[in-house]
Amino acid sequence: ADINVHCGPDASEGEGGDGPCSICHNPKLRDGEGSERLDRMKRNHCPRRTVLGILNRPGCFQEFVVLPCRNLHIVPTVVPDELAVFAEPLAAALRVVEQDLLRERCWREEGATVAVLGDGKLGLLIAAAITLAMRREGSRKGKVMLIGRHKSKLDLLEPIRASPSEVGLVLVDSTTEEGQGELRAAAKSCDVAIDATGNANGFEQAMQLLIPRGVLVLKSTCAAGVEKGLNLSTIVIDELVVVGSRCGPIDMALELLRSDGESGGPLLLADLLKRMVQHTFKLEDARLAFRKASERGVLKVVIEM
């Protein structure tokens, strides 16, 4: 289908449409380090932001959609639609890279050890994105551990694990005795642990993997408490850093997809994304697609327009 885009002047730079946001448009944040903070605030943390289909802005199952032009991204011609649909979740995975939580640790002689907890769609993408980013940035050594409970999902990353590199990828099935042994051996050994379990208990599991002064990254947004209460003493005793991480840079995700498509080598990322699409529906079967997507364990459902 043809898409017609009309770019008129935005009513305002503020997300709410009633005039500029006083925080995001503070003139003191225009230069130097302040401009970086300004860009970050405007993208993710404007107090008057709206979120398509989530916060104060309807979703886009419409014939016509009104959005600020700055929210539109051009998909490179080498990136097919079947991969472009992953731009948003891949961007969320790359937010950990953008937050620069690994750089100092990756350049040590022994490299960094990163644990990713959770083998859902986001956990798979985080493990893949961090592994490929560490490899492309020339890390001397390093290891990424993906810890999950579903062998079929962990196996989706087998091609990346098997590709030769100084930065290894380890797939840990925590439902097996071997996996439990690997978890015990990994205790207090990880520089960074990323909780993408979607489970309130993932927070405490991640803490147990970290070295003193390690970084715990929260991707889960569970509101419910842990089963036996949350013990925060490890954070104090080991001086852990806890960092929230959510929406990421769409442009960085599209660039990673583009470079993967033009690399001339094994399309490791493209291969993973294609295999994550478990069901494809026609537009007239959209209701069936939503029902399928809501089933437990389903990674990705695509609707063909």
DSSP 227-277: TT----HHHHHTT-EEEE-----HHHHHHHHHHHHHSSS--HHHHHHHHHE
What confidence tier does 188 reach under pLDDT thresholds 50, 70, 90?
A: very high
Higher model confidence: residue 225 or residue 57? 57
pLDDT of residue 30 exceeding 50, the answer is no
pLDDT of residue 163 exceeding 50, the answer is yes
Distance CA 102, CA 110 (A): 13
Q: Per mean pLDDT, which range of 13-27, 110-124, 170-184 is the poorest?
A: 13-27
**Are 57 and 49 contacting, i.e. CB atoms less than 8 angstroms apart?**
no
What confidence tier does 222 reach under pLDDT thresholds 50, 70, 90?
A: low
Mean pLDDT (whole number) for 90-103: 84
CA separation, residue 18 to residues 8, 215, 266 (Å): 17, 39, 49
What was the pLDDT predicted at 21?
A: 59
Q: What is the DSSP letter of 30?
A: S
What was the pLDDT predicted at 49?
A: 77
What confidence tier does 40 reach under pLDDT thresholds 50, 70, 90?
A: low
What was the pLDDT predicted at 11?
A: 42
Mean pLDDT (whole number) for 276-290: 93
Average pLDDT, the chain: 81
What was the pLDDT predicted at 68?
A: 76
Using the structure block, give the residue that is written with the tokens 């990322």. 269
Distance CA 110, CA 107 (A): 8
Q: Where are the alpha helices (DSSP H) in the chain?
A: 33-40, 81-84, 87-98, 103-106, 121-136, 151-154, 158-162, 177-186, 202-209, 233-237, 250-262, 268-276, 286-293
| Chain segment 190-211, per-residue pLDDT in tens | 999 999 998 878 888 999 999 9
What was the pLDDT predicted at 132?
A: 86
What was the pLDDT predicted at 35?
A: 55
What was the pLDDT predicted at 22?
A: 53
Higher model confidence: residue 97 or residue 261? 97
Distance CA 200, CA 84 (A): 31
Distance CA 47, CA 107 (A): 36
Mean pLDDT (whole number) for 204-230: 82
What was the pLDDT predicted at 38?
A: 59
| Chain segment 106-142, per-residue pLDDT in tens | 555 567 899 999 999 999 999 998 898 888 776 667 8
What was the pLDDT predicted at 128?
A: 93
**Are 36 and 98 contacting, i.e. CB atoms less than 8 angstroms apart?**
no
pLDDT of residue 144 exceeding 60, the answer is yes
What was the pLDDT predicted at 150?
A: 94
What is the pTM assigned to this prediction?
Answer: 0.82
Mean pLDDT (whole number) for 88-111: 77
pLDDT of residue 29 exceeding 80, the answer is no
What was the pLDDT predicted at 181?
A: 96
Mean pLDDT (whole number) for 245-264: 81
Pair of tokens at residue 193: 């642990």
Using the structure block, give the residue that is written with the tokens 């993997």. 209
